[in-house]
Amino acid sequence: MTDNQTIHEIAFSIGANLGNRLSALRYAYMRLQDAIPDLACSPVYETEPVGYLEQPSFLNCACKGTTSLPIDEILSLIHIIHAELHRKSRPQWHEREIDVDILIYGSTIIESEQLNIPHPRMHQRAFVLQPLSDLAPSLIHPTYNLSILELLNRCDDKSGIILHCSAEELIQG
């Protein structure tokens, strides 16, 4: 889908609300960092579920780095991570052992049945914008042409977001 020589800024959201949530986030981050060596991680937040509310709270973080990997290789890696962490298929917005979403891939815009980039609801979700803003406040959303911090400041989502741990605590275990 993209030229292998082009370097893209890439951002992910990682969340989990079943099992050892922090361990799942750590594993997903480390696996992504294997493919994207400069990947940095935000602090981890405990957040209320969205959509389906009868479930445990989530732990969420964001990651950002640069890559020349094609988007299909990144998507394949995400599917592998989901399988390695035994993610089960459930209805949208239900519990997750792990959920890794690509938020931004440079200025690329993709709209297909398999993938939407930038993430189509990230601008409406404080649990995505807060950790990403901690990590990359000036990163520009390719559709809205606003920084992540500007999107966070405009976001109407007032759901509970509580700092759980620092990025260092996540990474070091």
Active site residues: 87, 96, 99, 101
The token pair at 86 is 């035994």
Which residues are CB-neighbours of 172 under 8 A, at least 6 positions away?
none
Smallest CA-to-CA distance from 157 within 43, 49, 13 is with 49
Three-state SS for 27? helix
**Alpha helices, DSSP H, located in 36-159:** 71-84, 126-135, 148-154
Number of other residues whose CB lies within 10 A of the CB of residue 71: 19
Burial of 118 (0-12, 13-18, 19+ CB in 10 A): buried
